[in-house]
Structure 1
Amino acid sequence: MRKWRCLWRPYLDEEHASKRLQWAYRYREFTPTDWARVFWSDECTVERGIGIQREWTFIRPRDQPRMNHCQGLPHRGLIPLFGDPISERGGVNRFVIEELYRRVLPTLLSTEDGIFMHDNAPTHTARVVREALDDMQIEVMIWPPHSPDLNPIENLWALLKAEIYKLRPDLMHMKNNEDTKQILVDTAQIAWENIDMEHLQHLSGTMPNRVQAIIDSNGWYTPY
């Protein structure tokens, strides 16, 4: 049986494409130096077993215990964010995000002409979070919906998960308990530090091409 890779793309409609195109024209004149001012953020779920490898379309993934979320800030480290036990989906709630922002962003942006990027997920746009950003006078980049292809950090998660598996291939066989969760968190931190800084800089340098790809596709899907 021939194997095919599953290509996942977020759903786009005319409104999404229009907003993506507006975003591209807004930042079309940004130079690599301008893009270097942006502090990118993103989240992924790090899981044990098959969840840390690529899956094929004809394999139904096994249910995996959700271990933690990680929020990445290039040059600054990986921050573990544990899910809310009373949340319906076990995700990170707006109060966790607010506390994280207040603790981390002032230091990141205090001495630099920085712009902060988040993906407009509900936890990032909740009133308490918006008020925190306003209080700290943080400049936030306007971000179009359904646009992971514009966030260079998206390209790092596969590297991170592969490095975790390389460092601790025994994780998939460990018991699902707090000790295993801590090992996973610690390994993720080490794996993040192992990612070459030049790779991060290269991804930031792809932004002019990503912007142009949006314009070329009239706001629709890009190769990224």
Structure 2
Amino acid sequence: MPPVRRQPRYQQLTPFERGRIVGLREGGMSVREIAARVNRGVATVLRCIRAWEEEGREHRARGSGRPRGTTARQDRYLHFLAFRDRHVSTRRIGDQWYAAEGRPVTMATVYRRIRSFGLHSYRPHLVLPLTPQQRQHRLDWCRARENWDLEWNSVVFSDESRFCLGMHDGRQRVRRVRGERRNVAFSVERPVARTVGVMIWGAIAYGSRSPLLFIEGSMTAQRYVQEVLEPVAVPYVQTIENASFQQDNATPHSARFTLRYLEEVQVQVLPWPPRSPDLSPIEHIWDSIGRRVTNLPQPPQTLADLRREILTAWEALPQDEINHLIRSMPRRVAECIHARGGPTHY
């Protein structure tokens, strides 16, 4: 900063003063007369007049701004640290930078530099761990159905899900000012033990959905056949022409007792790769129902209320939404093949 700017009475010319100086100069007044009229220094008035006469500029030139606290070489090293490990916190990157450069830098500077690299902080996408064998099973399964299109319209996707009282999906945010973090009014209660809830079973297909079942207690293969397949699942599958029944590899589903029954009633079962909830569109249905129940103005307080709200959300789901999820199967399969059997963004 020039020494003159450190003076206590230093003040930049306002746009009005600059316009007034230019106008008085156009009117024929001398520089000293203008300086006396606007109560400014002669050098200040002269610089303003020269900017107008030589550059056609009546506003103040843009300054160089605050000097950068880091050099280009240091920025390149910071870029290397930020991209080397995407899971490292900003403070950890700042500490590593200081250890290498020996020059302190504020966290605000590190944060601005990292944002200038195009990196932003997000919640990580949660995926299931996959072994090489499981990846290969997923890849083989997808390659065998790579050319399926309308065939997915005949697949019945089924699954169970559990909903608990007081559940929180992690998407809810709160707006607060600094210092209100521990204010109870802006907190969300987190149960430390497993809360009571209900287990449900449902199935979806292109153009229809099954009745929703509430399951009490632990599910076994015998209960699965007697309480789910016989009264609901099999009659629903038989209403769809050339239907294939999809279920995951849970123990009640893959038990010999269950598979023998499905063979007896002549229900074609679609083989399912291990650890593949991202390939099943019904998982998005459970997520949608959970968000609807969580975002109610008055969340359910009893199991009866929870059952009623879940059933209401199931019946209120637009069929177009279900159809859109079914039609996403070719894209899911293609993305899984592109990932070599790895996780997809679904």
Q: Same fold (TM over 0.5)?
A: yes
* Distance across 2 between alignment mates of 1:158 and 1:219: 23
Deviation at 1:93, TM superposition (A): 2.1
- In structure 2, the residue matched to 1:37 is 154
Deviation at 1:65, TM superposition (A): 1.9
Deviation at 1:4, TM superposition (A): 5.4
* Distance across 1 between alignment mates of 2:152 and 2:332: 12
Taking the TM superposition and a 5 Å limit, the aligned residue runs for 1:99-114 are 99=226, 100-111=228-239, 112-114=241-243
| Matching residue within 54, 59, 78 for 2:212 | 78
Q: Percent identity?
A: 26
Instruction: Output one character per residue of 1:14-42: Cα deviation in whole Å (capped at 9) or x when no partner.
Output: 100000001001111111x2101000012
Q: Is the alpha carbon distance of 1:120 and 1:60 closer, same or farther for their aligned partners in structure 2, counting shifts above 3 Å?
A: farther
Contact 1:118–1:143 (CA<8 Å) still a contact in 2? yes
Contact 1:71–1:81 (CA<8 Å) still a contact in 2? yes
Deviation at 1:95, TM superposition (A): 2.1
TM-score by structure 2 length? 0.55
Q: Which of the two has higher C-alpha Rg?
A: 2
Instruction: Output one character per residue of 1:101-125: Cα deviation in whole Å (capped at 9) or x when no partner.
Output: 1112331122421000001111111
Higher relative contact order (CA 8 A, sep 6+): 1
Contact 2:200–2:212 (CA<8 Å) still a contact in 1? yes
Secondary structure of 1:36's aligned partner: helix
Q: Which ranges in structure 1 are unaligned for 5 or more consecutive residues?
A: 85-91, 175-179
Secondary structure of 1:42's aligned partner: strand
Q: CA RMSD in A?
A: 2.4
* Distance across 2 between alignment mates of 1:170 and 1:203: 27
| Matching residue within 38, 49, 53 for 2:169 | 53
TM-score by structure 1 length? 0.83
Contact 2:128–2:343 (CA<8 Å) still a contact in 1? no
Q: Is the alpha carbon distance of 1:60 and 1:190 closer, same or farther for their aligned partners in structure 2, counting shifts above 3 Å?
A: closer
- In structure 1, the residue matched to 2:258 is 129
* Distance across 1 between alignment mates of 2:297 and 2:309: 7
One-letter amino acid matched to 1:41? S
Contact 1:45–1:66 (CA<8 Å) still a contact in 2? no
| Matching residue within 301, 304, 308 for 1:186 | 308
Answer yes or no: is 1:159 the counterpart of 2:288: yes
| Matching residue within 220, 229, 232 for 1:93 | 220
Q: Is the alpha carbon distance of 1:68 and 1:6 closer, same or farther for their aligned partners in structure 2, counting shifts above 3 Å?
A: farther
Contact 1:116–1:138 (CA<8 Å) still a contact in 2? yes
Q: Is the alpha carbon distance of 1:6 and 1:98 closer, same or farther for their aligned partners in structure 2, counting shifts above 3 Å?
A: farther
Instruction: Output one character per residue of 1:76-131: Cα deviation in whole Å (capped at 9) or x when no partner.
Output: 232211223xxxxxxx2222211111112331122421000001111111122112
One-letter amino acid matched to 2:246? M
Answer yes or no: is 1:27 the counterpart of 2:131: no
Q: What count of residue pairs does the alignment treat as equivalent? A: 206
- In structure 2, the residue matched to 1:197 is 319
Contact 1:116–1:139 (CA<8 Å) still a contact in 2? yes
* Distance across 2 between alignment mates of 1:52 and 1:156: 17
Instruction: Output one character per residue of 1:19-74: Cα deviation in whole Å (capped at 9) or x when no partner.
Output: 0001001111111x21010000122110111x243269xx9942342311111212
Contact 2:164–2:196 (CA<8 Å) still a contact in 1? yes
* Distance across 1 between alignment mates of 2:200 and 2:264: 25
Query: Which shows bigger deviation, 60-69 or 152-161?
Result: 60-69
Contact 1:45–1:70 (CA<8 Å) still a contact in 2? yes
Secondary structure of 1:29's aligned partner: coil
* Distance across 1 between alignment mates of 2:252 and 2:328: 28
Contact 2:210–2:233 (CA<8 Å) still a contact in 1? no
